[in-house]
Chain A
Amino acid sequence: MAGSVENAVEDQLQQLNNARKLVLGDTTYYPQIVQSVLPIIQPTHPLPMRRWSADFLAEVFSSPALKISQKESICLLVLETLKNLIQDSNEDAYVLRNAIQTCASIYPLAFNWVLANSYDGPTWERVMAIKTRILQIWDNVPPAIRICCIKFAQRVVLAQTVASSDRQRGDLNINLAMIPQNHPLLDPRHLEAEATGLLDRMLGVLQENSRYEGSYSSSSSDLTNTALVCSSDAILVDATLNSLSILVRTRPGTSNRIMNAILNFNPLKLANSPMTPKTKVLIKSMEKTTRMLVKHLYQRDPHNPNAPRLQQHVERLMRSRAEILDESSRKRPNADGNGQDSKRQKLTPASQPKAPSAPNIEITHLEPGPHSLAELFTLAKDKGLTSFDATQVPLPYAVQITVTALSRAEPTLFMKALDGVRDRLVQMVKAEADINPETAPLGVDDDDDYEPDFDTGEDTEQILNKLDSAPPETIDAKPLGPSLALGSVNLPPAPILNPDMAAKVGQGTVARVFSMMRTLDDSTARKPKTGLSRLAASSLDRESWVTVIARLATRSSAGLETSVKSEDGASSVGSANLNDSIRELLYAYVMEDFRRRIEVAASWLCEEWYCDRVNKKHGLDGPLHYNKWVIKVMDGFIAYLNPADKVFTRFLSEMPELNMEILSRVKRLCRDPAMVQLVTTSLYYLVMTRPPVRNMVLDTFQEIWVEFEDARPFAEKYLAKWRPEFVKAVRAAKQPVSAK
């Protein structure tokens, strides 16, 4: 039967749990669920269910998921039940504890309700009854429940004192200042007085503990007679201390009282009792809890007039804590202070007497962690020796000492020392190499206290001060040496020069020469003729550059072109290209202003002619350029000639070689009657001055006479002098025609 009851209870608990999950997900069901849970908490129900309900109620009223207004309306439903529970002196401890927790949450809610609804006397009466009852049982319940009474009192004090402007969220803000004037139920003066009394009662636990000191000092030997620290002390002290922060911070009226109580409280006064593991836990707990609260208070409000006192209190606590709690390890500070030296110290007496007698040396292994070079080589264990700064010894002395010492050192001892250092090195390298993932620290969080929104940055002055007091930076050239020395610089290998690129570069060079030529002065000033012995291109004026370029164009690849032409490689194209491109540039240069640059053209074409001649003379069957380029130049400017252009005459006369092809171009000019005079004059000049081509030119005259009727009078004029037979013949031929 008992089993079936238990099963029923289990089932019901399961249902309750489901209901709870429902409201956790959706707060709108809270009023319903609370109302259906309330009957279960009644003493007639099985204890597990009553406990569950008490738990649930405490949860409902503390839940931040519910709004104050929601809780306020629900709390009116449960006040009567709570009152009855608390007033039942037979109540189960667990249920009672939760009930008081619920009351602590409800008190400000009910207070707020009554505050706004001054007619609701019955509610306030229930609240008063609950408060009275809790304050009444406060001292008679076990500590686990008493701490809840303390917490309840704290909420009462919170509600019944005036809040500072520092607004708190939620029901923590409900306070005395909110009571409207002439509230029929709430009298601020009375409530505040009550709060003050309650606060004193709360703080009493801190003062109570102080009383032990008197008893200790009066009868320090009689430890058994004095009250031992028990858990209840620590629980009550911790619970009280941990509930005070909000009061100090938000209820200025309570602040001084609390501060005084805290500052007068010495958690370590209880440390005179025998130090069992348990008392150690208790005392450590109270001390740390006090310290945390004090630290919290002055960090939250560093400008509080009490802040310096609080800070001092923390320091005092830490000092006495170190004295009392570290008693067992009091010998440690010496060892701790020196770190690994403790090991050396211990070994000193053992190894020192040995040293002079037997050639023995103790090589201690280095502890894991980073070591300086000096530490690596330090084998001495004497503290005085190891701390000796050898750099103080002047270098000459140091050398002397070292040499003497080394020469006298026992070879076996020396080798042993060397091996020892070597072992250390190996060990260190090894230690660095294999990091055990299991023991490697994960704490990257050394700067974990870093808060992005909390600026503790030093100001400029602080930084400057720090820099002033910093040791001067010494420039140590030696260790920096290798890292700062200039390493050998290797330029990347130059790209291989292929013919294309060479040609391009060559063209670039020539283009530069041309651009330079343009800026050079015209050698207008007439220079004294230097005669045939002059050296070409020595005057560095425009003329000499023209010579250079012309010779570059004509001679640079002379003799190469033949052999190159026979091959089919790309190189031939390159060099030919280069020469032809220079020619093109020269041609373009001449064409830009042929009237003034006809001289350039003449000298260039002379060079071409010369080069062709030399090629022929040496039997090289390279391509001939002269004719081609003369034609091209003539074709280039001939269209632009006007009748007054005497340069044409000059050009023709300066051409070293004339042929029928050239002359035929000249001849064709006669199509324009305006040009006839220029053409005939130029040709006649040739007839006059260049006997080698005279016949050829006279033939051209004849052709002109034949082809161009408009030019006949001019041609006839010259032909009559040089080819009278032709004139006669044509006149004779004409005669019959005209006779007819």
Chain B
Amino acid sequence: METSNGSASSSAPSNEAPSGDFKLKFCTVCASNQNRSMEAHLRLSEAQYPVISFGTGSLVRLPGPTISQPNVYEFNKTSYDTMFKELESKDPRLYRANGLLNMLDRNRHVKSGPERWQNWQPGLPRLDHASDKGSEGCEGGVVDIVITCEERCWDAVIDDLHNRGAPLNKPVHVINVDIKDNHEEASVGGRGIVDLAKSLNAAAAEERGKMGPALFDQGGSSARSSFDERVPDVLAEWQEKWPNLPATWTLAWF
């Protein structure tokens, strides 16, 4: 064991190489799984991270002709493609002008339809989502990091995890990145999330690259860090860079 450890570490003196292809698994969450979470989903998948996404709302709500006439769809039932076609047939000029068609067009090329967080059972294999962007690595149906895009989505996620009672015994970092629900902010937020993901992944890869026994001695916890402990550091650092995307974090359980 010593030798194999040694050889591995000698071939990779730094922490990058052996865990270069190590990827944290992400999950993005917003209210309707349309704008913010999907923007982040796309960007994270483009950055080669395993990623899935959800919405915490009770229904998928998209703006309609007036504020009191939203287009409402059910989660896990209506695909982005169906929504796209429906809105296009309803009023192509309006929905082109407010960016909905553009958004739905993007979404339908990312995955099939909006999924509701509360209906998701973590740990259940997601082999049937193989065609989704970022699905590679998420087959097991669990993630390391959940990123919500709004405080109440974060609240909903945490409340839901409480309800589930943590049957999987798997820790998960739940981070909220507050993003206003419009296309422009979603784009900015998406970049911020990818930046955060990269920082987190770099820290995780670095910690993973550190081989060898966990120290049980007195030096203990302060003597060496771990990825989990570094999350707040990464987040704080990131927050300095992205002061307009206020963040909240906790460590919860699947």
Contact = CB atoms under 8 A, between A and B. Distances in A.
Given A276-B236, A442-B34, A444-B70, A47 B169 contact: no
B230 A44 contact: no
Contact of A62 (B57, B169, B250): B169
B236 A48 contact: no
B239 A155 contact: no
Contact of A93 (B61, B213, B231, B253): B213
A270 B216 CA distance: 27
B250 A144 contact: no
Interface string A5-47: 1100000000000001100110000000000000000011111
Contacts of A292: 155, 158-159, 162, 250
Nearest to B166: A243
Contact of A281 (B187, B222, B235): B235
Interface residues of B, number: 90
A96 B34 CA distance: 39
- Size category, A interface: 35 or more
B127 interface: yes
Interface in A470-504: none
B208 interface: yes
Most A Cβ at <10 Å: residue of B18, B123, B229, B232 = B232
Interface in A434-464: 435-445, 448-452
Contacts of A451: 58
B251 interface: yes
Contacts of B142: 59, 62
Given A48-B18, A94-B208, A231 B213 contact: no
A221 interface: no
B55 to A, nearest CB: 9
A250 interface: yes
Contacts of B181: 441-443, 445
Contacts of A234: 232, 251
Interface string A232-246: 101100110011011
Given A93-B226, A104-B169, A151 B11 contact: no
Given A250-B165, A281-B239, A289-B250, A445 B170 contact: no
A439 B208 contact: no
Contacts of B208: 94
A238 B252 contact: yes
A140 B223 CA distance: 11
B125 interface: yes
A442 B35 contact: yes
Interface string B139-172: 1101000000000100100110111011111110
Contacts, number: 256
Nearest to B103: A442
Contact of B211 (A6, A92, A436): A92
Interface in A88-118: 89-94, 96-97, 101, 104-105
Interface string A130-144: 000000010011111
A288 B250 contact: yes
A147 B171 contact: yes
A1 to B, nearest CB: 9
Contact of B182 (A90, A293, A440): A440
A444 B67 contact: yes
Given A140-B217, A437-B98, A442-B62, A101 B235 contact: no
Contacts of B182: 438-442
Contacts of B231: 231
B253 A242 contact: yes
Nearest to B181: A443
B31 A440 contact: no
A170 B220 CA distance: 36
B48 to A, nearest CB: 17
A59 B140 contact: yes
B237 interface: yes
Contacts of B99: 437-438, 440
Nearest to A245: B162
Contacts of A230: 222, 229
A43 B211 CA distance: 13
Interface string B36-75: 0000000000000000000011100111100100100000
Contacts of A261: none
Contacts of B240: 277
Given A147-B251, A281-B235, A137 B216 contact: yes
Given A140-B220, A439-B182, A440-B182, 11 more contacts: A24-B140, A25-B127, A97-B214, A105-B169, A231-B233, A238-B252, A239-B171, A278-B236, A284-B249, A296-B162, A442-B181
- Please name the 7 residue pairs, one residue from A and one from B, whose CB atoms are nearest each other, closest first: A144-B226, A93-B214, A246-B165, A437-B99, A438-B184, A245-B162, A24-B125
